[in-house]
Amino acid sequence: MAADDGPFDCDSCETAVPLDDARRTETMGGLDATKWQTLCCPHCGARLKTVYVGD
């Protein structure tokens, strides 16, 4: 699975968030944090997408 480089549409505040602006957090549920990160909206904090960042 290739990394998705956005932008990501936030359903909560209807903003398109570029990848560089998204807040990155560890995923829930025990996924490997070196491979998976959850992107969150920098404006409202809503979860945007879980992306694969490993190679």
Residues in contact with Zn ion by the rule CB under 5 A: 10, 12-13, 41, 43-44, 46
15 closest CA partner among 53, 52, 46: 46
Task: Kindly tell me which of 16 and 32 has the beta carbon lying closer to Zn ion.
Answer: 16
Angstrom distance (rounded) from CA 40 to CA 20: 11
Beta carbon of residue 9, minimum distance to Zn ion (angstroms, whole number): 9
- Asked if omega into 7 is within 30° of 0 (cis), the reply is yes
Nearest distance from residue 41's CB to Zn ion, in Å?
3
Closest distance between Zn ion and the C-beta of residue 35, in Å? 25
